[in-house]
Structure 1
Amino acid sequence: MITATIFLRLATTGMLLGATTCGQPVTESSKPAAKADTVAVKKEDAPAKIVTAADRTEAYIDQLKGKNVGMLINQTSIIGTNGKLTVDSLLKRGINVKKIFGPEHGFRGNAANGAKVGDEVDPSTGLPVVSLYGKHYKPTADDLKGINIMVFDIQDVGARFYTYISTLHYLMEACAENNIPLMVLDRPNPNGFVIDGPIMEPAYKSFVGMHPIPISHGMTMAEYAQMINGEKWLNNGVQCDLKIVKMEGYTHQSDYTLPVHPSPNLNTQQSILLYASTCLFEGTTFSLGRGTPFPFQVAGHPLLKGKFDFSFTPVSIPGVSDNPPQKGNTCYGIDLRNYNASVFKKTGKLNLNWLIDMYKAFPDKTKFFNAYFLKLVGTKVLQQQIAAGKTEDEIRATWEPGLSKFKQVRSKYLLYP
């Protein structure tokens, strides 16, 4: 039976239907959620209104007129306040959009994490949709044939292992190799105030970590595109012809609540703010809430029964979490749904203590981590440090001087204060 608390949360986050159609229970204990950190709030002038690049249509539409346009977009690529997709708006304005490209989770954002997505024809526009999370990550010359300019307009969340920046890399590389300019319509980084984590080592390069950057990079997509170009990270050092369209009113300290879920399991602002810290549990035997209404906001394991009062049971939610870790097993652990995530803005740091504490509490240390952990963190050192009993402060100290060097490089590509 779903408690009243969960029912209310489901209703307000739009997850009620997805969670109840599976017909299996999601339970929690009555223990209060983790106590919020106390953060002093100073009364200040109202922040400037953020206007995304996509909403600044007149700043870029002339560059698209008379051209065959390709667009890498998804459900976050909205314009205006009515949720209309950028592609629909441009088509209405007479822009000749020829083809759509979709990242992980698909063009409509309804594919589960890691699920391969096939090519299709969009029933709404009739346009062909090329999946860049199916047969290949990088557009082929045939995919781009006849395209005069590409447009990238996708909302990111600022973490190295969130795959939209990897898709951006491969799009830039393909555009450079086929002499096609790429227009990037910029959007806010909701975690733009966090720059933290170990720098990825080349040995652990993968689609969830392609560049020598920390876990949280604190950059917008347009800024990141400039870094990819400037640091010559594309194949053979090729350069992409970038056409950047900036936002108005954004700074890296801006609070920004996403109007659309960027992926099925980042279904609340809380999950987005916690993501870079709690996603590390993907590299363990733990559940981090996939298959519940609150993914990335909890973490637990069946073997912690008796050590933690809070409990939850992951279930299959088709199209969201088909086969989540610990499916059907009651997990015991931490509840971060009411954690005061504004602390990340105050400190500019990730939280490693949740991972460290769960490791200490877990009875079989040899089975805590899985092979995916090294890809997520981009180094073998962090796992060794946690196993050795290092504290969060001791671990963070070893991220220097790499983190400071990254911040210096990052500063060259920033578009906003």
Structure 2
Amino acid sequence: MDRVPGRLSRRSVLALGGGAAVNAIACGGTDADSVSPAPDDPSLRPRFQVRTGLDRLVEGGFAALAGQRISVISNPTGVNGRYSHLVDLLHAHAQDTGGLTIGGVFGPEHGFRGSAQAGDAEGTGIDARTGLTVYDAYNASQATWESLYERAGAQTLVFDIQDVGSRFYTYIWTLYDSMAAAARRGLRYVVLDRPNPAGGKAYGPMMTSRFTTAVGKKEIVQQHGMTIGELARFFNGEFLPAEAGRPVELEVIECSGWAANMMGGDTDVPWVMPSPNMPTPDTALLYPGTGMFEGVSSLSEGRGTTRPFELIGGPGFDYHWSDRLNAANLPGVAFREAYFTPTFNKFVNTLCAGVEVKVTNSQVFDPIRTAVAMLVEARKYPAFAWRADSWDSARPHWIDKLSGSERLRTMIDAGASTDDIIGAWQEELAAFDAQRRPYLLYPR
């Protein structure tokens, strides 16, 4: 294979093929067929008018919550079309009308107001704006949720958090555990629905019971393709009767105007970062795939840059990676040779070589196929290494926890092709697609 450099310097980047010669080819070439399509331009996309569950709750004068003592599970994403937060709106409504009572707020990973980084929380305290008690619910077990409900005097739970459609994004497991605890205590559970920024199509492998963790607690596929309301209905029908002894009393206040072929950049729903490393709806398109690079120790997933999960690279890689990926003609995506220096997380202050992943057609883009192809090619470099978890000797590879089993890793290590790897989970994906169908709320 081609020579692979060790630690990069900025001078060595030019020696590897960057600089004026490359720019001249890109700007002066005449073969139109060889030019990759430009990435989706968000400013040119149609903006469909969508009303979220929160918008509809406010428009209805909070009638669905009238006379109840409620507790809220939310984070900074719980805003309406004017960027007013659910908790602030509820607090003002309660003060003005006395029509409901707020027993407290529960904050997930990153906290209720969003001041904490990945893997952290804000702690329990008093919210400065409203004076309400905010309970730290990050990593809360179902038993902990029950005790929090008792402390807050909860009767009705209201959930409003923007999900991004990936199994290993932790907010859906906050939803699951809080629903199970509410079912055990006989509480009402209201979900204010929001569009899935990655659309309504399911992709990827199934979680297996051996590899369940906090980033994948139940058997769903890697990109579930449901809104948070649809997923709540799925959890309630498929898992809660066995987990909690009964389903929860669930109400989903649906979005209006959303269809499952709409991506996050296609609607007028305000984008508030669900977490510090999810800056745009386009990040959410990639995350169900490129999030798997958290399971590779030799490659940064772009944390510590302004383009997390879009920039992927490491000090032992080079421009051949982008060349090979572009030659694979993956649907709806192009790869730009990229160099970056992370400011935190992996490879701090170290120059990394790799790719910037650019979605060119969101309707045909498959994030997990794309990431698998990236892993297959990256595995050919001597520098490549899977992340090992020393704290889990029985399941030492983080990639197995992200992908749901050992299959992805062992097939890549054995030299399997992208098509063979993707083909290995098509039967379980089809079964999941059929299983979720009764719980869907929006056109597919």
TM-score, normalisation: structure 1: 0.83
Q: Structure 2 CA distance, aligned partners of 1:134 and 1:196? A: 26
Question: How far has the Cα of 1:296 moved from its partner?
Answer: 0.7
Partner AA of 1:400 in structure 2: Q
Q: 1:39 to 1:128 in 2, by over 3 A?
A: closer
Secondary structure (helix, strand or coil) at the match of 1:222 reads helix
Match of 1:227 in 2: 234
Q: 1:341 to 1:144 in 2, by over 3 A?
A: farther
Equivalent pair of 2:137/2:145 in contact (CA under 8 Å): no
Secondary structure (helix, strand or coil) at the match of 1:197 reads strand
Q: Structure 1 CA distance, aligned partners of 2:356 and 2:367? A: 20
Runs of 4+ off more than 4 Å: 27-33, 35-41, 45-48, 134-139, 305-309
Question: Please, which runs of 5 or more residues in structure 1 have no aligned partner?
Answer: 1-26, 317-323
Match of 1:299 in 2: 312
Match of 2:285 in 1: 273
Task: Give the structure with the higher percent helix.
Answer: 2
Question: How far has the Cα of 1:98 moved from its partner?
Answer: 1.8
Match of 1:330 in 2: 351
| Greater relative contact order (Cα < 8 A, sep 6+) | 1
Matches within 5 A, 1:242-321: 242-257=250-265, 259-285=271-297, 286-304=299-317, 310-316=338-344
Secondary structure (helix, strand or coil) at the match of 1:271 reads helix
Secondary structure (helix, strand or coil) at the match of 1:144 reads helix
Matches within 5 A, 1:325-404: 325-336=346-357, 339-343=358-362, 345-348=363-366, 350=368, 351=370, 352-360=372-380, 362-365=381-384, 367-370=385-388, 371-404=397-430
Q: Identity over the aligned pairs, expressed in percent? A: 33
Matches within 5 A, 1:213-224: 213-224=220-231
Secondary structure (helix, strand or coil) at the match of 1:66 reads coil
Match of 2:196 in 1: 189
Question: Please, which runs of 5 or more residues in structure 2 have no aligned partner?
Answer: 1-12, 27-34, 95-99, 322-336, 389-396
Partner AA of 1:359 in structure 2: R
Determine whether 1:118 maps to 2:130.
Answer: no
Partner AA of 1:80 in structure 2: G
Q: Structure 2 CA distance, aligned partners of 1:388 and 1:60? A: 59
Equivalent pair of 2:301/2:313 in contact (CA under 8 Å): yes
More displaced stretch, 404-413 vs 130-139: 130-139
Determine whether 1:155 maps to 2:162.
Answer: yes
Q: 1:200 to 1:135 in 2, by over 3 A?
A: closer
Secondary structure (helix, strand or coil) at the match of 1:106 reads coil
Question: How far has the Cα of 1:347 moved from its partner?
Answer: 4.8
Secondary structure (helix, strand or coil) at the match of 1:100 reads strand
Match of 1:74 in 2: 75
Question: How far has the Cα of 1:348 moved from its partner?
Answer: 5.0
Equivalent pair of 2:286/2:367 in contact (CA under 8 Å): no
Q: Structure 1 CA distance, aligned partners of 2:47 and 2:356? A: 31
Determine whether 1:165 maps to 2:165.
Answer: no
Secondary structure (helix, strand or coil) at the match of 1:272 reads helix
Equivalent pair of 1:186/1:246 in contact (CA under 8 Å): yes
Q: Structure 2 CA distance, aligned partners of 1:54 and 1:36? A: 40
Q: 1:48 to 1:117 in 2, by over 3 A?
A: closer
TM-score, normalisation: structure 2: 0.78
Question: How far has the Cα of 1:291 moved from its partner?
Answer: 0.7
Partner AA of 1:250 in structure 2: W
Secondary structure (helix, strand or coil) at the match of 1:215 reads strand
Question: How far has the Cα of 1:349 moved from its partner?
Answer: 5.5
RMSD, matched Cα: 2.7
More displaced stretch, 184-193 vs 350-359: 350-359
Q: Structure 2 CA distance, aligned partners of 1:377 and 1:182? A: 30
Larger radius of gyration: 2
Secondary structure (helix, strand or coil) at the match of 2:346 reads coil
| Residue-by-residue CA offset, 1:44-78 (whole Å, 9 max, x unaligned) | x9675211010012447223122211000100000
| Residue-by-residue CA offset, 1:114-173 (whole Å, 9 max, x unaligned) | 124421211111111111115657643331122121100010000000001000001101
Q: Structure 2 CA distance, aligned partners of 1:154 and 1:262? A: 8
| Residue-by-residue CA offset, 1:20-61 (whole Å, 9 max, x unaligned) | xxxxxxx9976789x8557999xxx96752110100124472
| Residue-by-residue CA offset, 1:195-252 (whole Å, 9 max, x unaligned) | 1111111100111011211110100011101111111246244311101111100111
